[in-house]
Structure 1
Amino acid sequence: MAAGAGRARRREAVMSTHIRKNAPAAAAGKPRLTTSAMIASIAAEGQRTKPAPFGHALVALARENERVLGMTADLGKYTDLHIFAQAFPERFHQMGMAEQLLFGAASGLASEGFMPFATTYAVFASRRAYDFIHQTIAEENRNVKIVCALPGLTSGYGPSHQAAEDLALFRAMPNMVVIDPCDAHEIEQVVPAMARHDGPAYMRLLRGQVPLVLDEYGYTFELGKAKLLRDGPDALVISSGLMTMRALEAADLLRKDKVEVAVLHVPTIKPLDEAAIVAAARKTGRPVIVAENHTVIGGLGEAVAATLLRAGVAPAAFHQIGLPDAFLDAGALPTLHDRYGISAEKVAGSIKAWSDGGAGGAA
């Protein structure tokens, strides 16, 4: 067993046991939460999913482009890169538990004309290897694609594995494209789009059994473009990543209460589609709500707020749904999503309160 896989599995077993023994619901006589903290699915029960969309999309890309390489820091299975490794073992590079080496080597291979897709967890890329990415990839404008699992609150392991600030860090890096896809349908399209972009790019990765949502809306990903998925007069939600799925779920819930919500999906955080955001926010009489699986500091919410301020657009109210400026708790994901207000039910409750004329400000 690879060291990283062994480390992840040992910790997952400990955390799952801890959750079963200590979940508040169990103490109250409710069913115990046994969701794995590390690789729990964000899909609801019965929701359509697709397995490992990134791994399969990268294999398809590699069949067309011999320059494509797969690289990881001992986390091939946990970033779905093992699928690429099985298909192209001669183009797969396992760098061990050495994220700085991973990105330094990726930069060197890119300088020789290859196109490395380097995977790890988002916390390790954004924190442990930040300077190596900044200096050897971004500053040199190397054609490295950084694909990172466990973005935001998609792990229950606590602050060591929860990448709550990765968008803020990568947004601040010159030359870096930043992408936060919603579902499997979009991930499959993002992979070839990243390859067409000449330069460094960072993508948040949803791995394993990934929900399918956007195919129902006839959606096509375009780098740097936001898309209005549905319109409504009562509130505008501007969202990225899995929070677009939550916003759409919340909109369906709110329709029962005769609250009609518009959802503008913004998968590319940088470069930001300011024109689409301004156009959607100019419609009067509805609050603007930014929903993101990221701290409210430095992510999509603040980027949208700055865009509207520069454009002179003043919506009826402005709100943020996101993770707090705090170190987050460990536990089962359903419990944590409720606790931090990013479950569909919590999102719906917040939108309804604000669309009914609640006070402005961040959640």
Structure 2
Amino acid sequence: MSIAMRDAFGKKLAELGATHPELVVLDADVSSSTKSALFGKAYPDRFFNVGVAEANMVDIAAGMATAGYHPVVNAFAIFLALKATDQIRNTICYNNLPVIIAGAYGGLSDSFDGASHQSITDIAIMRALPNMQVIVPSDSAQAEKALEYALTQKGPVYIRLNRNAMPDLPPSKTIETVCAAEGSDVTIAANGITASFAVEAVTLLAQQGIKAEVLSVPVVKPLDLAPLAKSVAKTGRLLCVEEHVLAGGFASAVSEAFMKQGISCKFDAIGIEDTFTESGPYEPLLAKYGISAENIADRAKALCK
């Protein structure tokens, strides 16, 4: 089990501050939760707590970006994606500014605060914005790679971060699609923390004679189609899994790309249906909405019939 994604991200922010003098960090009065406080402690003159004002924070970051800085804005994913949408669109994306938007407590990971704080539409919103790249890390190492990558970009990048610690996946040198398990019967393309449940599902499927291939796909936009297409050419079946509503998210991105390229296969997707979620312990809550090793195995098995 790795350290929590937010802890890894906060430590990496502080670490990169030493080698990236252009890096400035802004937070909306939740730095103890987002862990951006670690950067603030190390570089107090480059850290700005703007208070509970996400939209203003985004505009301030945009201004800094025009002055040669590379800002990272930190707040809960749901408030960045909803309260600051106008500013993200019109000041950052329209001007293609190098601002990193770090959405903490993504998906259902703010589990006990309920539907008002659970971010289940952020990927669809951010993916629709021109110039915006969208990354959903699966573990703490991928979160660190995402930040390193984003700092090399000349435009905006949205990184959705999870609150909790998740099992480590096979490492990669960059933020890219990772094959977490090899198989020949069905491809499971898992976005974000769902990858660890997909890896668990491989064992359950193997007990039934089904060999599943698991791809951890953190980059939703721009989507790297080649590894998915290569795997599906072998298996003929694809199950997408995401911690997000099915409308407009990861599975939608994959479906659009497959249709455009004329790639056909048996297909299914696991995500949150057309509903709001609720309060509760994180993993039982995920399971209620279909994100569990058991449900992934059942849906993959059904595809193989």
Matched, 1:310 2:260: yes
Question: Separation in 1 of the partners of 2:4 and 2:277?
Answer: 29
Aligned letter for 1:137? Answer: I
Question: Separation in 1 of the partners of 2:198 and 2:86?
Answer: 34
Aligned letter for 1:334? Answer: E
Question: How many residues of Structure 1 are paired with residues of Structure 2 in the alignment?
Answer: 303
Matched with 2:145 is 189
Preserved CA contact (<8 Å) 2:141 2:171: no
Matched, 1:290 2:234: no
Question: Separation in 2 of the partners of 1:87 and 1:301?
Answer: 39
Aligned letter for 1:202? Answer: Y
Q: How much has 1:238 moved relative to structure 2?
A: 0.9
Q: 1:348 to 1:248 in 2, by over 3 A?
A: same
Question: Separation in 2 of the partners of 1:77 and 1:48?
Answer: 20
SS at match of 2:71: strand
Superposition misfits of 4+ residues, deviation over 3 angstroms: 47-51
Aligned counterparts, 1:1-363, within 5 A:
47-49=1-3, 52-156=7-111, 157-207=113-163, 210-214=165-169, 217-222=170-175, 225-284=176-235, 286-315=236-265, 317-355=266-304, 357=305
Q: How much has 1:280 moved relative to structure 2?
A: 2.0
Preserved CA contact (<8 Å) 1:186 1:220: no
Aligned letter for 1:249? Answer: E
Question: Separation in 1 of the partners of 2:249 and 2:201?
Answer: 21
Preserved CA contact (<8 Å) 1:185 1:212: no
Q: How much has 1:86 moved relative to structure 2?
A: 1.2
Q: How much has 1:274 moved relative to structure 2?
A: 1.8
Greater mean alpha carbon deviation, residues 112-121 or residues 151-160? 151-160
Q: How much has 1:245 moved relative to structure 2?
A: 1.4
Q: How much has 1:335 moved relative to structure 2?
A: 2.4
Question: Separation in 1 of the partners of 2:98 and 2:210?
Answer: 45
Q: How much has 1:194 moved relative to structure 2?
A: 0.8
**What is the CA deviation profile of residues 295-351 of structure 1, one whole-angstrom value per residue up to 9, with x for unaligned ones?**
000011011111111221211x10001111111122222321121110222222322
Q: 1:107 to 1:113 in 2, by over 3 A?
A: same
Question: Separation in 1 of the partners of 2:231 and 2:2?
Answer: 29
Q: 1:254 to 1:295 in 2, by over 3 A?
A: same
Computing the radius of gyration from Cα coordinates, the structure with the larger value is 1
Question: Separation in 1 of the partners of 2:59 and 2:70?
Answer: 14
Q: How much has 1:186 moved relative to structure 2?
A: 1.1
* Pairwise CA RMSD: 1.6
SS at match of 1:210: coil
Aligned letter for 2:54? Answer: E
Aligned letter for 1:288? Answer: L
Aligned letter for 2:199? Answer: L
Q: 1:210 to 1:221 in 2, by over 3 A?
A: farther
TM-score for both structures, normalised by structure 2: 0.95
Q: How much has 1:155 moved relative to structure 2?
A: 2.0
TM-score for both structures, normalised by structure 1: 0.80
Question: Separation in 1 of the partners of 2:225 and 2:69?
Answer: 32
Greater mean alpha carbon deviation, residues 328-337 or residues 117-126? 328-337
Aligned letter for 1:70? Answer: V
Q: How much has 1:121 moved relative to structure 2?
A: 0.6
Question: What stretches of structure 1 of length at least 5 have no aligned partner?
Answer: 1-46, 358-363
Aligned letter for 1:268? Answer: V
**What is the CA deviation profile of residues 232-287 of structure 1, one whole-angstrom value per residue up to 9, with x for unaligned ones?**
12210111110111111211332233321101221111111122222222225x42
